[in-house]
Amino acid sequence: MTRTATITATTITDTRMDILSYDFMRTAFAASGVVALVAGITGVFLVARSQTFAGHALSHVGFAGATAAGLIGISPLGGMILLTVIAGVGMGALGERLSERDVAIGMVLALALGFGLLFLHFYTSFATQATALLFGNVLAVDTGTLLSLIGLGVVTLAALTVISRPLLFATLQPELAEAQGVPMRLIGIAFLAIVALAVSASVQIVGILLVFTLMVGPAAAAQRLTRTLWGSLALAAGLAIAEAWLGIVIAFYTDWPTSFCITSLSGLVYFGSLGLASRGRRSAPAV
């Protein structure tokens, strides 16, 4: 038993060293960790405010921004951030009229995809990068992009911290918050601008089509498993980081797409949380 345990421990150590011996793998772990932390925390508020559709639409807007930036010869990440923030501000300015907002967001999503395809039509050499934007490619993140993601993450979390109190009040008790003079529309605009930044970062890891993986899956699971805001924030961030890192490890040894591995783990965790939450309700004593 001792020898077996020693061999197992040595194998695990060698495996870890094998992964971390590559510069691109260390960069991938760092980038995915930063993005997962930001996405997990932002996602808790996104799910609580029932604005996941807005987050999905912003990712598609980012596709149009990135392809437009490639067409005119500037940074795709810069173009993505600029257009998603503009779209986020526009969506937030629509206010809290859910039916009107959902229709408008759906139209923004469709138009963004259409413009993205148009820009690709005129700049076909960008097609390879466009595929990475759609499905993500964390293993291709370089040092410059990593530094940009770290800066983006710091700005996103700092802005979220600044508006966290009125945002939470407006989310949990909107009528009372409005009666107390909380600027509901301004808070909504600021929050969706923050979501736009988080979406731009997440796209670099899991892609536009799979952005729900890090922004919604961990947050939705955390809210089913915890009762407090701080518990949800901590668990969502932890789940997002664990899914991102374990997904990279699985992809490294199976040669499967990294985004697929991360998405599959996110799905397993979410559906597992549904089962645990359902079991908890059945076993709870009657009052």
Tell me the domains of the chain and their CATH numbers.
Answer: 22-209 (1.10.3470.10)
Per-residue pLDDT tens digits for 256-283: 999 999 999 999 999 999 888 766 555 5
- Residues near 43 by beta carbon (within 8 Å), at least 6 away in sequence: 55, 198, 214, 215, 216, 218, 219, 220, 236, 240
Query: Is residue 83 within 8 Å of residue 61, measured between CB atoms?
Result: yes
Q: What is the mean pLDDT of the chain?
A: 84
* Mean pLDDT, residues 64-72: 85
Whether the predicted pLDDT of 9 surpasses 50: no
Whether 6 shows a pLDDT value over 60: the answer reads no
Lowest pLDDT segment from 8-22, 71-85, 178-192:
8-22
Task: Tell me the pLDDT tens digit for each residue of 22-58.
Answer: 999 999 999 999 999 999 999 999 999 888 888 888 8
Tens of pLDDT, residues 140-166: 899 998 999 999 999 999 999 999 999
Residues 4-10 have a mean pLDDT of 44
Cα separation of 65 and 83, whole Å?
A: 5
- Terminal Cα-to-Cα distance of the chain (whole angstroms): 50
**What pLDDT does 151 receive?**
94
Structure token pair of residue 62: 């980012």
Provide the pLDDT confidence category of residue 220 given band limits of 50, 70 and 90: very high
Distance from the Cα of residue 63 to its chain's centroid? 15
Residue 70 contacts residue 79 (beta carbons within 8 Å)? yes
